[in-house]
Amino acid sequence: MREINVTEITNQIKEMCIEGNHYLSSDMKEALYSAYEKEESVIGKQVLGQLKENLDIASKDMIPICQDTGMAVIFIKVGQEVHFIGGSLEEAINEGVRQGYTEGYLRKSVVKDPIYRENTKDNTPAVIHYEITTGDKVEITFAPKGFGSENMSRVFMLKPADGIEGVKEAIITAVKDAGPNACPPMVIGVGIGGTFEKCALLSKKALTRSFNEEAKEEYIRDLEKEMLEKINSLGIGPGGLGGTQTAFKVNIETYPTHIAGLPVAINICCHVNRHVHRTI
Amino acid sequence: MEKHISAPLSNDTIQNLHSGDYVYITGTIYTARDAAHKRMYEALENGNKLPISLENQIIYYMGPSPAREGRPIGSAGPTTSSRMDKYAPSLLDLGLKGMIGKGKRNQAVIDSIKKNQAVYFAAVGGAGALLSKCIKSSEVVAYDDLGTEAIRKLEVENFPVIVIIDSEGNDLYQTVMQK
């Protein structure tokens, strides 16, 4: 049994909130630079040039990359040999978000009630996904999610007969509808299988997968490649102003599902696809 | 085409702006997003006056991150405009002449832009750090309790935008997809 004081979790989350909103991971940065080289439209290239400059300013002057510093989504994988001491884990996570968003000059974008909409003023609560695993480590992923792109995300409960063609159509429909609203170039997280909520969770998780990490199944790798090509031939382009660079990457995750169903979720992320991983 | 214009807007300026123009704005603009729009709309429905005069003004759909010490504002990029579609025609009828945001507008807004001879600009979404450099001052002028969603008066210098919908109703997002 390994003891971890929850204040350690608070401190790590606080740092991750600040880091994630000012610096993009190297794979995302490389994707932006490579899109800039590849973009054929003049206005598209200009937009990508602005986005490159924006990243430099954000890290140099400590101004958040985007003013929508998101709702804090946290994936926490806890080894079953870990024993947390010093208080509630959930409260420790939210305290980290509270401190990170307050001390880091990040925007407070969370309202207490979806109908009455009073701002909680410290960006809590976070959306927390717990997972229990073997071992004595704690793995945390902080992925703040802006709502320009979140609002364009979709779940389709397809029929088994719709097959892979149905999945492709669902992805293209979601991306087309998102268009300029989701701040392209986008990253497309897709979850296929499971249940209604499982495929949505898979699609969110897919967004946090490193661009250098490949899908396990060959047909999924092929599908990712095919979808990326199709999306980039839609003409939406950077900022929705036309061009060949509409998406950086399509990441697909799958899970076993029911004999009667084919759930598909498409979680769209803007070009500021933020995620920070740490292991304690 | 690249153009430099000043804000508030004049009718002459608007007539010269065409869908697809790259424009730099210098002058005074106001911010308002979801909650401020809802409140303004309710004020009008109840027969009350708005806290600011909209005549010839530009509204920037934006809620900034907090400013660090010594800076006028934090990150300050556009939010998705379609959420303001419900409210925009009423404000255009009151003399609002420009809107800055990102993303598509519905037909009612496009029609109202044409009718009122106004213009819809987009700034680059997700470039909030870069855009903040063009904002020289920021002052909350109404609805302070809304936090990031309060109405702010901004002084901007060479603020970069693209004309999406011009006063003739041409929509760049549609033209681009037809190509």
Domain identity same for A134 and A263: no
Residues of A in contact with B127 (CB under 8 A): 50-51, 53-54, 66
Domain identity same for A220 and A180: yes
Domain membership of residue A91 (yes or no) is yes
Domain identity same for A168 and A129: no
Domain ranges of chain B: 2-178
**pTM of the entire structure?**
0.95
Q: Rounded mean pLDDT of B60-64? A: 98
- Three-class DSSP labels, A32-92: HHHHHHHCCCHHHHHHHHHHHHHHHHHHHHCCCCCCCCCECEEEEEEECCEEEECCCHHHH
Domain membership of residue A108 (yes or no) is yes
Q: Rounded mean pLDDT of B32-43? A: 96
Domain membership of residue A53 (yes or no) is no
From the list B63, B129, B160, the residue facing A64 with the nearest CB is B129
Residue given tokens 């229990």 in the structure block: A132
Domain identity same for A102 and A233: no
Is B66 close to A51, i.e. CB distance below 8 A? no
Domain identity same for A192 and A175: yes
- Flag whether pLDDT at A204 surpasses 90: yes
How high is the pLDDT of residue A196? 98
Interface test with B, best of A39, A47, A63, A113 (most B CBs within 10 A): A63
Distance CA B102, CA B26 (A): 19
Domain identity same for A220 and A267: yes
Cβ atoms A263, A198 nearer than 8 A: yes
Where in the sequence is the domain holding A111, given as residue range(s)? Answer: 2-20+65-144
Residue ending a domain, among A115, A144, A173, is A144
CATH number of the domain located at residue range(s) B2-178 in this protein: 3.20.130.10
Residue A234: exposure state from Cβ atoms within 10 A (0-12, 13-18, ≥19): middle
User: Chain A neighbours among B 56-115 (CB < 8 Å)?
Assistant: 62-68, 71, 74-77, 79-80, 82, 102-104
- Flag whether pLDDT at B176 surpasses 90: no
Domain identity same for A222 and A166: yes
Domain identity same for A169 and A135: no
Interface test with B, best of A68, A115, A153 (most B CBs within 10 A): A68
Span A17-48, pLDDT tens digits: 999 999 999 999 999 999 999 999 999 999 99
Predicted confidence band at B177 (pLDDT cuts at 50, 70, 90)? confident
Domain membership of residue A56 (yes or no) is no
Residue given tokens 């603020």 in the structure block: B159
Q: Rounded mean pLDDT of A191-219? A: 96
Q: Give percent of chain A above pLDDT 70.
A: 100
What is the predicted ipTM?
A: 0.94
What phi and psi, each to the nearest 5 degrees, are found at residue A221?
-60, -40
A233 contacts chain B (CB < 8 A): no
Q: Rounded mean pLDDT of A108-120? A: 96
User: Chain B neighbours among A 30-49 (CB < 8 Å)?
Assistant: 43, 46-47
- Sorted by sequence, the CB contacts under 8 Å of residue B2 that are 6+ apart come out as B21, B22, B23, B24
Cβ atoms A161, A221 nearer than 8 A: no
From the list B71, B128, B162, the residue facing A65 with the nearest CB is B128
- Flag whether pLDDT at B179 surpasses 90: no
CA of A47: which chain B residue's CA is closest? B124
A210 alpha carbon, distance to own chain's centre: 11
Domain identity same for A250 and A216: yes
Domain membership of residue A151 (yes or no) is yes
Domain identity same for A157 and A106: no
How close, in Å, is residue A196 to chain B by CA atoms?
A: 27
Domain identity same for A133 and A257: no
Q: Rounded mean pLDDT of B49-66? A: 97
- Flag whether pLDDT at B178 surpasses 90: no
- Flag whether pLDDT at A11 surpasses 80: yes
Domain identity same for A14 and A82: yes
Alpha helices in A120-267 (DSSP H): 147-150, 163-178, 196-207, 218-232
Residue ending a domain, among A144, A166, A186, is A144
Computed over every residue of chain A, the mean pLDDT equals: 97
- Sorted by sequence, the CB contacts under 8 Å of residue B78 that are 6+ apart come out as B60, B61, B62, B100, B101, B102, B122, B123, B124, B125, B131
Residue ending a domain, among A144, A172, A202, is A144
Number of domains in chain A: 2
Residue A166: exposure state from Cβ atoms within 10 A (0-12, 13-18, ≥19): middle
Domain membership of residue A215 (yes or no) is yes
Number of other residues whose CB lies within 10 A of the CB of residue B144 = 10
Residues of A in contact with B177 (CB under 8 A): 179, 235-236
Predicted confidence band at B1 (pLDDT cuts at 50, 70, 90)? confident
- Sorted by sequence, the CB contacts under 8 Å of residue A26 that are 6+ apart come out as none
- Sorted by sequence, the CB contacts under 8 Å of residue A275 that are 6+ apart come out as A20, A25, A141, A142, A143, A207, A208
CATH number at residue A128: 3.30.360
